[in-house]
Structure 1
Amino acid sequence: MATTITATIGGLAMSPQTTMAAAANRPLLKTSMKMGSELGFVTSQLNGIKISCNPNQFKLPPTTLSAPPFRPSLQPVAKRVCPFTGKKSNKANKVSHSNHKTKKLQFVNLQYKRIWWEAGKRYVKLRLSTKAIKTIEKNGLDAVAKKAGIDLRKE
């Protein structure tokens, strides 16, 4: 049992019976596929070049394909929240001279600070609010981290 499939290119149907004389002003592209019960192959003729391949060699094993893990193209931005005090941005109104109110955010004054951790005998780089820096200077890093429930060993 053999089946012939013809290709349609640019609105022009090409079949194996198309001759070069009929398509003298158009490029000839014939694609025919013959499928047999024991052998399957694809033959393409492009300006006299004959290309053939066996489609059975490209079949994938029957396995379940899963999507690759999602990786964002941009790095995530750190939240503007102090981990020690929990301070975060405040919604407020910007009031003009004509008393016109516009919504705005008042962000926390976060600073990257390298602080000596006495128990770990090393420096720890943290992103803290200025209020948390003052509290750490007063009470010590271990006491403030313990009260906030932060484990400094991971960082």
Structure 2
Amino acid sequence: MALITASSAPATVQASALCFFRPQSSPISLKSSSKENASELGFVTSQLSGLKISYDQCAPSSNISSTIKFPIQPVARRICPFTGKKSNRKNLVSHSNHKTKKLQFVNLQYKRVWWEAGKRFVKLRLSTKALKTIEKNGLDAVAKKAGIDLSKK
């Protein structure tokens, strides 16, 4: 039973147009000299997995110059889109008058609100103050004032 380690002979795996080489030593530290060596050899070095990816040896005639774009998920911020309310900084004041900073967050709720013009429900994340304003003035008027297009949601 033989164990294969990272220090054994380089293993080559071909996947369509890419070759992956396991480095001889432990994970690569990119210093100025190793950057120059990597650029001379045409390698793209990955620090996370310690793999070298070579385009020159597998497919010498094809030029691969595309960038990889990862989908960026938007982070739900604690801001009401209708009223613009956001968190407030406050001080917690002790008996000895020692002040500690704290955030007061907006009371945001996920609500399904009936949109009369669209004849459907719209799922929104809004503050309770915005919910009261929508009940008073209507969803179309509040969305128009805030500059929100409800047909996208």
TM-score norm. by structure 1 comes to 0.58
Structure having the higher Rg: 1
1:57–1:80 CA distance, 2 compared to 1 (3 A) = closer
1:129 to 96, 102, 127: 127
Matching of residue 81 in structure 1 with residue 79 in structure 2? yes
Over the aligned positions, Cα root-mean-square deviation in angstroms equals: 2.3
Distance 2:77 2:99 in 1: 26
Give 5+ residue unaligned stretches, structure 2: 1-6, 8-55
Partner amino acid, structure 2, of 1:60: P
Counterpart secondary structure, 2:130: helix
| Structure with the higher strand share, 1 or 2 | 1
In the TM superposition, residue 65 of structure 1 has moved relative to its aligned partner by 2.6
In the TM superposition, residue 66 of structure 1 has moved relative to its aligned partner by 3.3
In the TM superposition, residue 57 of structure 1 has moved relative to its aligned partner by 6.8
In the TM superposition, residue 96 of structure 1 has moved relative to its aligned partner by 1.7
Sequence identity percentage? 75
TM-score norm. by structure 2 comes to 0.58
Distance 1:147 1:76 in 2: 24
Aligned twin of 2:58 = 58
Partner amino acid, structure 1, of 2:68: P
Partner amino acid, structure 1, of 2:125: R
Aligned twin of 1:104 = 102
| Structure with the higher helix share, 1 or 2 | 2
Give 5+ residue unaligned stretches, structure 1: 1-8, 10-55
Aligned twin of 1:94 = 92
Matching of residue 117 in structure 1 with residue 129 in structure 2? no
After TM superposition, the runs of 4+ consecutive aligned structure 1 residues lying more than 3 A away are none
Counterpart secondary structure, 2:100: strand
